[in-house]
């Protein structure tokens, strides 16, 4: 099994060897199983379980240095595989607007976009080579408005910045402030709970 191989060889040097595969031609010859095992291994052993790529689309998160990372969890893998193979489950790899194009009245949609940075030095929107800037945030708001007009139930999370609060002012009475733990910072004293928002287009009780 591919994951078992990664588990047995796990080390800093091995991690960077596997991480760098998408920088060489050998990557194109990897099977779908080998590619899936690679990304699971990197996710389980990289710093804080991040997914991030550079401008060339290459995975660039450093090694996490965990003592005993749970790389191979067969029960979870089998359970997830069983669920995702149900006929009613459909995975899409497309633009968010295209993904909800056929949503109809009564459907529930949750958006978890790259968050608007809370400061000029805290920007982290580079999950992929294309990024997710404020123009994309505004386009997402237009999609939320369209879904609302169609009678869909929408939930969206984001950071509590002035830009986002102003962008969703139409939903002001349905914006909930929540505390979320954030451990992604090279300086431990800057880690902790920060404010995030949950935007809804419907009323719900008990959310705080």
Instruction: Mark whether 49 and 120 lie in a shared domain.
Output: no
Quote the CA–CA distance of 110 and 164 in Å, as a whole number: 16
Q: State pTM to two decimals.
A: 0.78
CATH number for position 136: 3.40.50.150
Reference 126, options 177, 194, 56; nearest CA is: 56
Residues 120 and 64 in one domain: no
Rounded Cα distance, 59 and 183, in Å: 20
- The answer to whether position 205 is within a domain reads no
Contact call for residues 158 and 166 (beta carbons, < 8 A): no
111 and 179 share a domain? yes
Number of folded domains in the chain? Answer: 2
| Residues 105 and 196 occupy one common structural domain | yes
Domain termination site, one of 84, 113, 145? 84
Question: What was the pLDDT predicted at 1?
Answer: 80
Final residue before a domain boundary, out of 20, 49, 84: 84
Last residue of a domain, one of 84, 114, 147: 84
CB 137 within 8 A of CB 157: no
Q: Does residue 159 form part of some domain?
A: yes
| 37 and 12 within one domain | yes
Q: Is 66 helix (H, G, I), strand (E, B) or coil?
A: coil
Residue 175: inside a domain:
yes
Residue 60 is part of which domain span?
2-84
- The answer to the question of residue 207 being in a domain is no
Whether residue 208 is contained in a domain is answered as: no
CATH of residue 51's domain is 1.10.1020.10
Is there a domain that residue 100 lies in?
A: yes
Please name the helix (run of DSSP H) or strand (run of DSSP E) that holds residue 109, with its range, or none. strand 108-111
Note whether 49 and 104 are same-domain residues. Answer: no
Specify if 56 maps to a domain: yes
Contacts for 134-139: CB closer than 8 Å, 24+ residues apart = 134/163, 137/113, 137/163, 137/164, 137/167, 138/167, 139/97
Do both 70 and 127 map to the same domain? Answer: no
Whole-number pLDDT of residue 125: 47
| pLDDT tens, N- to C-terminus, the chain (208 residues) | 899 999 999 999 999 999 999 999 999 999 999 999 999 999 999 998 988 888 888 999 999 989 899 999 999 999 999 999 999 999 999 999 999 999 999 999 999 999 998 876 555 444 455 578 999 999 999 999 999 999 999 999 999 999 999 999 999 999 999 988 765 554 544 556 789 999 999 988 666 5
pLDDT at residue number 69: 93
- According to the model, what pLDDT value does residue 129 have? 52
Residues 72 and 139 occupy one common structural domain:
no
pLDDT score for 183: 58
Q: What angle do CA 126, 193, 186 make, to 5 degrees?
A: 50
Decide if 59 is inside a domain: yes
């Amino acid at each position: 099994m591919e994951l078992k191989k990664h588990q047995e060889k796990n080390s800093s040097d091995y991690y960077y060897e596997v991480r760098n595969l998408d920088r060489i031609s050998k990557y194109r010859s990897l099977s779908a199983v080998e590619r899936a095992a690679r990304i699971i291994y990197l996710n389980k052993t990289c710093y804080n379980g991040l997914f991030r790529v550079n401008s060339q689309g290459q995975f660039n998160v450093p090694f996490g240095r965990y003592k005993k990372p749970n790389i191979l969890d067969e029960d979870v893998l089998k359970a997830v595989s069983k669920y995702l193979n149900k006929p009613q489950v459909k995975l899409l790899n497309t633009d968010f607007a295209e993904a909800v194009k056929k949503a109809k009245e009564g459907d529930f949609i949750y958006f978890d976009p790259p968050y608007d940075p809370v400061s000029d030095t805290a920007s982290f929107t580079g999950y992929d080579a294309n990024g997710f800037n404020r123009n994309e945030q505004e386009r997402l708001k237009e999609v939320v408005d369209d879904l609302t007009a169609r009678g869909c139930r929408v939930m969206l999370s984001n950071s509590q910045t002035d830009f986002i609060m102003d962008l969703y002012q139409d939903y002001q009475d349905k914006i909930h402030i929540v505390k979320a733990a954030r451990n992604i910072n090279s300086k431990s004293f800057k880690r902790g709970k920060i404010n995030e928002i949950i935007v809804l287009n419907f009323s719900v009780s008990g959310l705080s």
